[in-house]
Amino acid sequence: MNPCLLCMKPISEVASWQSFFALEKKKTLCDDCSKRFVRADIKEEGDVLDAVHSLYEYDEAMRDWLHQYKFLQDVALAQVFSNELRRAFSSTDTIVPIPMHPERARSRTFAHVETLLDGAKRPYVQLLAKTNTSVMGEKSRHERLNMEQLFELIPGAVVQPITYRLVDDIYTTGTTLRQAATVLKQAGAARVEAVSLIRSIQK
């Protein structure tokens, strides 16, 4: 029996035809922990960013998960939303993860968006690179909105006149996703949509 990734209690796994054929990943959370995550499926439309689909709201359960995954770097937690994320895309989608800064990639953390997509078994293309060294969380909303362009195309990247689907872990003000969409549109993308695991609505 596997322990629950969040509370470490053993998970009672009932064998089913689905698990037999390995269509779905094995349970990673116990029933009590799973119940804390409630799908919200918030769909929003915009201008440069044509549409955003957020799977969950930023609630207490998500705050705990994000903290343990991103800041405590519990990489196994990427598996918690693998099935949900896989179903958020079709096999023909061209997926572009929001990149993290190369300095951070080198030092203290992992590529959390790419790791989520790896867990969901969805291939992606990396077209964007970060241009700015600032850490978003340390800036005020006003500062963030007035920052320089966050992203640039990776040298040699080819953007086609098709629909791209950006992916990020959390969508708050939308600055990150809109800036990424702007770069893709300026390079010739026909349409840019996004999937965010979490929607944080600022009150």
Which residues form the interface with Zn ion (CB under 5 A)?
A: 4, 6-7, 30, 33
Cα of 23 vs its chain's centroid, Å: 22
Q: Which one, of 77, 157, 158, 62, lies nearest residue 118 by Cα?
A: 77
Angle at 170 between CA 167 and CA 175, to 5 degrees: 80
Beta carbon nearer to Zn ion, 81 or 89: 81
As a whole number of angstroms, the distance between CA 194 and CA 140 comes to 24
Query: Whole-number minimum distance, CB 38 to Zn ion, in Å?
Result: 16
Least spacing, CB of residue 85 vs Zn ion, in Å:
20
Nearer to Zn ion, 33 or 194 (CB): 33
Give dist(CA 117, CA 114) in Å, integer.
5
Q: How far is the CB of 11 from Zn ion (least distance, A)?
A: 8
For the bound state, the minimum distance from the C-beta of residue 1 to Zn ion, rounded and expressed in Å, comes to: 13
The smaller minimum CB distance to Zn ion, of residues 2 and 146, is found at 2
CB-wise, 33 or 198, nearer to Zn ion?
33
CA distance 32 to 9: 10
**Identity of the amino acid at 120:** A
CA angle 178, 182, 186 (to 5 degrees): 170
Q: Name the β-bridge partners of 128.
A: 153
Q: Which is nearer to Zn ion, 27 or 185 (CB)?
A: 27
> In the bound complex, what is the minimum distance in angstroms from residue 5's beta carbon to Zn ion?
8
